[in-house]
Chain A
Amino acid sequence: QSVLTQPPSVSAAPGQRVTISCSGSSSNLGSNSVSWYQQLPGTAPKLLIYENNKRPSGIPDRFSGSKSGTSATLGITGLQTGDEADYYCGTWDSSLSYVFGTGTKVTVL
């Protein structure tokens, strides 16, 4: 049902960098900004990035976001074991609905 496509999983060693892609269409990412959420196991989602690349207070600058056209990317540098979680992108769609990505599981090797 998700209209935003993410890779199911990404992995890297501690200290390395990972990127997570989010692919949409002209009706959603192509015309609206993207947010990114982190969901640690058994907890509620937490906002990491909003308006493509803005970080709320308290979010470390190891997390970054970008958007180009109908795609967006979340980057995590200096990967830590505490970053193991599911990550979701989200944005408004012209159908007057908020849509989430399919979700990506980050594994720290």
Chain B
Amino acid sequence: QVQLVESGGGVVQPGRSLRLSCAASGFTFSKYGMYWVRQAPGKGLEWVAVIWYDGNKKYCADSVMGRFTVSRDNSKNALYLQMDSLRAEDTAVYYCATWFYPSSWGPDYWGQGTRVTVSS
């Protein structure tokens, strides 16, 4: 079955960088698009980024454009989120998710998340 495990979260100072990883297993990773979604403490879900199965298309939310970069390594079954110039408002649990059902066009199966805290 689909398994997604995020890592790389932690406490970081404003303006610094962090790289999140998502290890995928249980499905053919190279055939599926992938998402990053975040959830600030006590808040709702916020889409962060999506990357197509082959990495040729990527889109990011306006709130992270120019600061966050999504990428993937299909040879390693891994998804990444490079987060630069972090701000306090980036504090959240970050989830990776797979776009498993082609007709959904959305995040279908989710990992358990990794917490990022931006604080001085």
Contact = CB atoms under 8 A, between A and B. Distances in A.
Contact of A102 (B44, B104, B112): B44
Contact of B44 (A35, A44, A56, A100): A100
Interface stretch (B10-18, B45-53, B77-85): B45-53
Nearest to A99: B47
Contacts of B44: 2, 86, 88, 100-103
Interface string A37-52: 1010001111100110
A54 B103 CA distance: 10
A44 B63 CA distance: 22
A51 B95 CA distance: 21
Tell me the interface secondary structure of chain B in the complex: loop
Of B45, B59, B61, B109, chain A has the most CB atoms within 10 Å of the CB of: B45
A90 interface: yes
B111 interface: yes
Interface string B34-51: 010100000011110010
A101 B45 CA distance: 8
B101 A98 contact: no
A109 interface: no
A98 B46 CA distance: 9
A66 interface: no
Nearest to B59: A96
A23 interface: no
Contacts of A56: 101, 108
A97 interface: yes
Contacts of B37: 45, 100
B40 to A, nearest CB: 11
B59 A100 contact: no
B47 A51 contact: no
Interface of B: 35, 37, 44-47, 50, 59, 61-63, 95, 101, 103-113
Given A47-B109, A47-B110, A98-B105, 14 more contacts: A2-B44, A32-B105, A33-B104, A33-B105, A35-B108, A37-B45, A44-B113, A45-B37, A50-B108, A54-B103, A90-B47, A98-B47, A100-B47, A103-B45
